[in-house]
Amino acid sequence: MAVIKYPLDSDARSLGITGECSICGRRSSAYWMCRGVEIFEVCSTCAAEKLPLLVAESLDDNIDRFRAESVLRTVAASFWRDMSLCLMNRPSIRKHLARTNN
């Protein structure tokens, strides 16, 4: 997954990034490259509201409450780990941390 930067440059356009959410058509904020060719773009609203449905629908028919709770814990842990990594890669956060660590 990668963040989309605007205005779209020629590299982004050559990948096939349109700047439109693949779900709702609004301005996209991130994308995944599927199988190295297909681009799937999402806006922040669809990422929060629709992608959990993708996780739920991807589970097999043998799901029960205990497995669902396990999946939820995994998703929550992944979310906070990935949120931390994203925040640490933002220039404004790195600048703030550099000031506070001196």
* pLDDT for position 76: 92
Considering the chain, what is the average pLDDT of its residues? 85
Residue 61 · residue 55 · CB < 8 Å: no
Torsion of CA 56, 48, 3, 32, to 10 degrees: 20
Residue range 44-55: average pLDDT? 89
Residue 102 pLDDT level (bands cut at 50, 70, 90) = low
Span 1-39, pLDDT tens digits:
677 778 888 888 888 899 999 999 999 998 888 876 788
